[in-house]
Amino acid sequence: MKELRIVRTLLDEMNNDIRYCHWKSNQHFSDALLGIDDLDILIDRTQYLELLNILNKLEFKHFYTPSERTYVGIEDYLGFDYETGKIIHLHLHSQLVIGEKHLKGFQVPFEEKILKNRRWDSEYNAYLSSEYDELLLLIIRLGMKARLRDCFKKVSAEKNTAYEFCWLKERCPDFCNILDEEDSLSNRLKILIKKTYTNGFTWSTSYKIKRCLYKEWLCYSQGSGLYNSIKRHKREFQRIISEIKKRYLHTKNSFLRRRSATGGILIAFLGSDGAGKSSTIKEIHKWLIKVVDVRCFYLGSGDGDSSLLRAPLKILKVLAQKLGILKITNNFNDANLHEKNKTNKTIGLARKVWIYTLSRERIKKLVSARRCRTRGYVVITDRYPQSEFSGLCDGPKLNNQKGLCASKEAESFRIAKLSPPDLAIKLIVSPEVAQSRKPGEIDLETSKNLTERIQMIQFSEQTKIVEIDANQSQEEVILNVKKAIWQNI
């Protein structure tokens, strides 16, 4: 695997003008170059605006995290590598903030010292923190994370942290000698740090380091021990509640990852059968859900998820088709399509009930999708109601008719028109390719005509339309879709 171009370009740009260094987990810095690990970059805060210019040029985008995961002096930026489709996570540190999980309520006043002692790594062509500074901060960081409840744990440091400690210890054999020259640390603190260096991490020593820092560097804490403890437990409780809502209550508005500083976006996917729409949406959801808050909605009338009210009707519909009572075909020529655009005045009662329940379901989903978009989510919809073609492509079926069903359908399309998608991604596939992907299911003329209609749909002036050649391999299609989303997110 080779390093990602966006990461290399970012480092090269910073090497020219910015005082920076990758300040922790340098053992795995190669993984950061590959987009596997995050980039933890400490910068000279006086050059913040200069760095923003670099980030903007490379299309890094600012995201914010939930309040219980937001820390002063640390900002989240995401970048996109156009060659691989990977999202790069940049933690931008303008100050060193450490502490207990869910709090990070302590600032270590070593920023200038670390930048001054940074080292140039010719293998990676980047500035990294010195092994001594990284090891000192690792010991202090673990000490500040120690909690009373952790005294019952058999292991005081996670396996990865223990490996990192041994790796740094091998590269800094004169650590204790350099530590003796530190004038910012008390003798008591130096003794505890040396003890950790010699004997490894123990809860007792780590907790004593924490108590010592709170006593000697109280001015660098967000507040007193009691204040920090209350704040940490409050944040931890909020995090637990959020996880319960998401995993078990399936609450729609859980804010767990990140949301764009510029607001949410509503993305509609359109495509005829055989275009690979469902599989593409699935892959895009997996790609985004790792880093941002995402919601998916099915807004069609087919086999996607449906409300409890419409679910029994779907079962009856399948049963009627099997018994030969109901005949439904998706095969029609251009003349049939024009007929579909005309108002059908002979729609039966069962069909009207179906349209009524579908309209109720769509109204609920459209409102929910727009609310999620307003709250900052990336909202993905499989299909989207449109009023440009009646009777097909999720268009109206009871145009210009009166009655309860027609009124409910008109209301659903009014809301859809009022809240159009920000981005419509159309997967365009040739009839021959579509038929080869779903043999025996697709009529060539139908596929051709429906694709032409899909290409003509505009939704609104504010909707950005992007057409993707779905004849390509799935990997190429997904990469092109990712590019379109990143440019508009």
Q: In order along the chain (489 residues), what is the average pLDDT of each group of 10 residues?
A: 92 96 95 94 96 96 86 93 95 92 87 96 96 96 87 77 94 95 93 95 93 90 84 84 74 75 95 93 95 93 65 61 57 52 56 87 94 94 92 83 88 95 97 90 88 94 96 96 96
286 burial level (CB within 10 Å; 0-12, 13-18, 19+): exposed
Which residue in the block uniquely carries the two structure tokens 């880093």? Answer: 291
Tokens of 364: 């609920």
Number of C-alpha atoms within 13 angstroms, CB side, residue 354? 16
Could you give the CA distance from residue 22 to residue 310 in angstroms, rounded to a whole number?
A: 55
**pLDDT at site 345:** 47
Could you give the CA distance from residue 86 to residue 246 in angstroms, rounded to a whole number?
A: 25
**pLDDT at site 236:** 84
Could you give the CA distance from residue 332 to residue 316 in angstroms, rounded to a whole number?
A: 24
Could you give the CA distance from residue 254 to residue 377 in angstroms, rounded to a whole number?
A: 10
**pLDDT at site 212:** 93
Could you give the CA distance from residue 199 to residue 156 in angstroms, rounded to a whole number?
A: 12
Could you give the CA distance from residue 153 to residue 151 in angstroms, rounded to a whole number?
A: 6
**pLDDT at site 214:** 87
Express each pLDDT in 21-64 by its tens digit: 999 999 999 999 999 999 999 999 999 999 999 999 999 999 99
Q: How far is CA 393 from CA 180, 344, 387, in A?
A: 74, 16, 9
Could you give the CA distance from residue 286 to residue 294 in angstroms, rounded to a whole number?
A: 10
